[in-house]
Structure 1
Amino acid sequence: MLAIIVNYFLGFWLYEKTKTKLLASKTGTKAYLFGHNYGYYALIFSWLPIIGDPITLVAGVLRLKFVWFVIIAGILRIARYFALALMV
C-alpha cells in the first residue's frame, strides 16, 4: 500500500515537467486527455505485478483525486495479496 502512495506522489511531483512535454506534441495531448477521461478505469489494472506500478505513477502525473486513487488501487492491491495468501 505504501508503494502505490509513493508512486502517486512521485508522479504528482513530476507533474510540471511531464505536462509541458506532453502538451508540446499532438500525440502527447491526446494521451493526456485520454488519461483524464479514463484514468480511474486504468486503475483497475493497478493490481497487476508488472504494469501496476507505472499506472500508479501516471495517476499522480494526471493528478487523479488521491482519495479515489487510494480507494481503487488500495483495495485492489489488498485483494491481490489476500488472494495470494489463500493460494498458499
Structure 2
Amino acid sequence: MSPELWGLFVSSLISSTLLPGGSEAYLAWLTVDGQYPTEQLIAIATLGNGLGGIITFAMGRLVAIRYPFRMLQQKSHRHVKLYLTRYGSVSLLLSWLPIVGDPLCFVAGWMKFNFLLSAIFIMLGKFLRYCVVAGIFL
C-alpha cells in the first residue's frame, strides 16, 4: 500500500479516537487528486475510522470494569443516558459526528452495549460520512 493510503488510514484512525485529526480533508485531497479509486479511498478511511471508534468503545468497556456506569448520575448526564438506553447500539450511527461521536463510542462501551452490533453501527456511520465527503469532491 502506498504512503498516501497509509496516511489516510492513520489519519482516519487517529481522527476517531479522542484525539483530533483531519481525515476528511485528506480524503477530499486524495479524491480530487484522482490517483486512487474513490471506492478504495472510502474503504480505507472507513476501516481506519471504524477501528478508531471500536478502540474508543473498548476503552469505555475497560473503564466499566473499575467504574460502573451508574457513577454518572449528574443531571447533565441523564439525558445522554436516557437517549443511549432508548436507542442502544443504533445510536452509534451518529459516531461520525464531530465533538460528540468519540465520546458516544466511549460511553456505549462503558454501558456495555453489544460489541458486534456496536461495531456494525460504528462502521456503517463512518462509511456513510466518508461517502458524503468523497461525493462532494468528485
Normalized against structure 2, the TM-score is what?
0.52
| Structure 1 residue runs without a partner (length 5+) | none
Partner of 1:38: 87
Aligned-pair identity (%): 27
Say which SS state the counterpart of residue 14 (structure 1) adopts.
helix
Residue 87 to residue 57, structure 1, CA distance change in 2 (3 Å): same
1:50 paired with 2:50, answer no
Residue 13 to residue 63, structure 1, CA distance change in 2 (3 Å): same
Q: What is the alpha-carbon distance in structure 2 between the residues aligned to residue 57 and residue 76 of structure 1?
A: 15
* Structure whose alpha-carbon radius of gyration is higher: 2
Partner of 2:136: 87
Partner of 2:64: 15
Partner of 2:118: 69
Q: CA deviation at 1:53?
A: 0.3
Give the structure, 1 or 2, with the largest relative contact order (CA under 8 Å, sep 6 or more): 1
Residue 80 to residue 18, structure 1, CA distance change in 2 (3 Å): same
Q: What is the alpha-carbon distance in structure 2 between the residues aligned to residue 43 and residue 3 of structure 1?
A: 13
Normalized against structure 1, the TM-score is what?
0.77
Kindly provide the amino acid, as one letter, of the partner of residue 53 in structure 2.
I
| Structure 2 residue runs without a partner (length 5+) | 1-49
